[in-house]
Copies of this chain bind each other. A is one copy, B any other.
Amino acid sequence: MTDSVRQALAGIVGETAVLTKPGDCWPYGYDNSRRHALPHAVVFATTHDQVKQIVQLCYDQRINLIARGKGTGTTGATVPDRGGIVLSLERMDRIIEIDPANRIARVEPGVTNLALQQALEPHGFFWPPDPTSAAVCTIGGNLAYNSAGPRAVKYNTPRENTLGLRAVIGTGEEIRTGVITTKGVVGYDLTRLLIGSEGTLAIITEAVLKLTPLPEAKATVQATYEDMHAAARAVSAIMAQPITPCALEFMDGAAIAMVRSYSDLDLPDNVGALLMIEVDGPAHGLTESTASVIQAARVEGIVAIKTAENAAEVEKLWLTRKALSPALRNIAPKKINEDVVVPVSRIPDLISGLEALSQTFDIQIVNFGHAGNGNIHVNLLTDPNDRDMMQRAHQCLEQTFDLVLKLGGTLSGEHGVGLEKRDFVDREIEPTTLHLMNAIRKQFDPHGILNPGKALPEGGDTA
């Protein structure tokens, strides 16, 4: 970081919005993957024009530029492992417009998911994506990874809930993608191309989000099963009937056992799998809709079904699921947390396969996640001080990925690729398609300054 670059940055955003001291820059070098690399500088932009000028400077000087929200990503996608400038967008946090008549909101990338939901609620709307980190994570980050969450089973992901974007590409030029209406087919769809591209194509400075009316009422159901195969049959049955739940979460036997060992669980001993089901919609008819889902959930191997009658009971039913993450963190602070997806009907095959891999490699595996989307968080419990175990875990992980792909799945549902999965992408995507993605990347970012080395495998752009 030369003095002249530092001065140029200060000229754009002001002295106080540029950090260059290692101690100041340090907290902007990590994300939730626990990877860390020290950036040469951190810059805080507050306007689209500042972002434009910063990218122009980096383009001219060929400096790496890594866009960052609040750093809650889990794949190292915002870790500046090749140095460069971290562009923090957390201060671009204005909700520019909420327009209920047109069911849209226009926001800057630094708005947190929670702040947006709170602003929308009085208008009777919400924005469907709801990652676990919603209280902290930014809309820009949600768009960068196409992060969804439990509600996606009914309400889909950011790609289906975003209408248009304003962004700055790697040359420092502004583009506008999409529309502000719910239909539009003029030009190519660059909106969805940018969503999920992890800051490698452009830096989003404004997004027009499609809003959904808040449902009037919600019912919460907990269903327990003898084993994961029974639970998986229930998931398929639920997804084959007309009422789509707004959450269809599961925990496998290992996950239940884990919670059981850490807290006093109100579950019979023979429970080997658990589903949390939520059904929302108009108050009228909700009882019948829920009954229809419950009927589908009553497959062979069911242990019990409990329906919450009030808010306290809702909380009680979610207790087991919510006790899981702290329990996992206690037992294995450095667990490998994967985010694979398989077709819903293949969940039993995935779980059986994981059981076998767990035995082969002597690695404890705990599974939970968004069953309605087939999106399974596979957790390999590891001890980073045990080198032999870590080696086995990585072999186990490789075979997990192969299993997922064999079942017709994908390596990431909502966490993205970043650094963590970059070297596995070519197992999922064929060379011609990958080559095309790299060729597209070059059109957006000819100097290769936007988050280099992330999202796509190395070397793909040499073809």
Of the candidate stretches A14-22, A60-68, A306-314, A427-435, the one touching chain B is A427-435
Instruction: Assess whether A138 is interfacial by the CB under 8 Å rule.
Output: no
Stretch from A3-11, A98-106, A223-231 forming part of the interface with B: A98-106
Stretch at the interface among A87-95, A237-245, A315-323, A384-392: A237-245
A236 to chain B, nearest CB (A): 5
Q: Nearest B residue to A187 by beta-carbon distance?
A: B429
Residue among B169, B185, B191, B282 making CB contact with A145, cutoff 8 Å = B185
Q: How far is the CA of A440 from the CA of B414 in the complex (A)?
A: 26
- B residues within 8 A CB of A394? none
* Cβ contact within 8 Å between B183 and A433: no
Task: Please report the total number of A residues contacting B with Cβ < 8 Å.
Answer: 97
Q: Is the CB of A175 within 8 A of B215?
A: no
Q: How far is the CB of A128 from chain B (nearest CB, A)?
A: 12
* Contact A102-B183, Cβ < 8 Å, known A244-B213, A284-B288, A440-B443: no
User: How far is B180's CA from A438's CA once the two chains are assembled, in angstroms?
Assistant: 22
Q: Are A425 and B186 in contact (CB under 8 A)?
A: yes
- Is B373 a contact of A183 with CB atoms below 8 Å? yes
Near B by CB (< 8 A), chain A positions 175-215 give 175-177, 179-193, 195-197, 201, 213-215
What separation, in Å, do the CA atoms of A418 and B361 have in the docked complex?
57
Decide if A433 touches B184 in the complex (CB within 8 Å): no
Q: Is A70 an interface residue (CB 8 A)?
A: no
The interface residues of chain B lying within 8 Å CB-to-CB of A421 are 186
Chain B's closest residue to A100 (CB) is: B240
User: Complex formed: what's the CA distance from A18 to B239 in Å?
Assistant: 45
User: Would you give the shortest CB distance from A10 to chain B, in whole angstroms?
Assistant: 27
Task: Say yes or no: is A379 at the interface (Cβ < 8 Å to chain B).
Answer: no
| In the assembled complex, A416 has its CB within 8 A of some CB on chain B | yes
Closest 7 CB pairs of A and B: A285-B285, A284-B288, A183-B413, A213-B242, A192-B192, A101-B345, A284-B285
**A residues apposed to B, CB below 8 Å:** 99-104, 124, 145-146, 148, 152-153, 156-157, 159-160, 169, 173-177, 179-193, 195-197, 201, 213-216, 236, 239-244, 281-282, 284-289, 292, 341-345, 370, 373-375, 408-417, 421, 425, 428-430, 432-434, 436-437, 439-441, 443-444, 455-456
